[in-house]
Amino acid sequence: MSEDRIVSLDHENSPEWFYLDFLPVDPPCILIGIAHPPLRWLKENLAKYRIREMCEKRLGEEFLADYHQPWGFGGILVPYKHKPGAPFLEYTITIPPFETLTEQKCSECKGRGKRDGMNCLYCDGVGKKMERDWTRVNRVAATLMVLGAIIDKPLMA
């Protein structure tokens, strides 16, 4: 018996349900396009997903689920281009500055910017205290975790 046919699995066999892109604007954005079927699934089944509940407990806030408004944790998914009849709805996640310099001295290098002859790792050699916005980072991570779980395996709730 000979194999005379090659079986190919491509986009025709598995429909594209989402895509990710990057917008080099200021501030930069992650662009996520989601097809209508997984969005409908998400809307109807979000309450069943344990990962959503776990993330809500960890962050102490609710996963917002009105897809026509900013949604996800803290409303980080913002409606972008919603053309009538388009197969995907697009949303952006703004990547804001994560570190902000304060006027306080860095407590690790006492404001010198150096430790043991090298640039201080805590202030990057600036000598001033850096504040880091973990809330937003945690919201983005948790929102993508919930979306990833649901879009990857929409029937496994």
CB of 119 to Zn ion, least distance (A): 8
Please tell me whether residue 122 binds Zn ion under the rule CB under 5 A: yes
* Interface stretch with Zn ion, choices 31-39, 85-93, 115-123, 144-152 (CB under 5 A): 115-123
> How far apart, in whole angstroms, are the C-alpha atoms of residue 66 and residue 73?
12
Please tell me whether residue 146 binds Zn ion under the rule CB under 5 A: no
Binding Zn ion by CB under 5 A: which of 39, 55, 106, 144? 106
Please tell me whether residue 108 binds Zn ion under the rule CB under 5 A: yes
Output phi, psi for 99, to 5 deg.
-115, 140
Please tell me whether residue 124 binds Zn ion under the rule CB under 5 A: no
- Return the SS3 of 2: coil
* Interface stretch with Zn ion, choices 57-65, 79-87, 118-126, 136-144 (CB under 5 A): 118-126
Please tell me whether residue 93 binds Zn ion under the rule CB under 5 A: no
3-state per-residue secondary structure call for 65-129: CCCCCCEEECCCEEECCCCCCCCEEEEEEECCCCEEEEEEECCCCCCCCEECCEECCCCCCCCEE
For Zn ion, give the closer residue by CB, 34 or 109: 109
CB atoms within 10 A of CB 103: 6
Output phi, psi for 105, to 5 deg.
-70, 145
For Zn ion, give the closer residue by CB, 34 or 120: 120
CB of 99 to Zn ion, least distance (A): 13
CB of 117 to Zn ion, least distance (A): 14
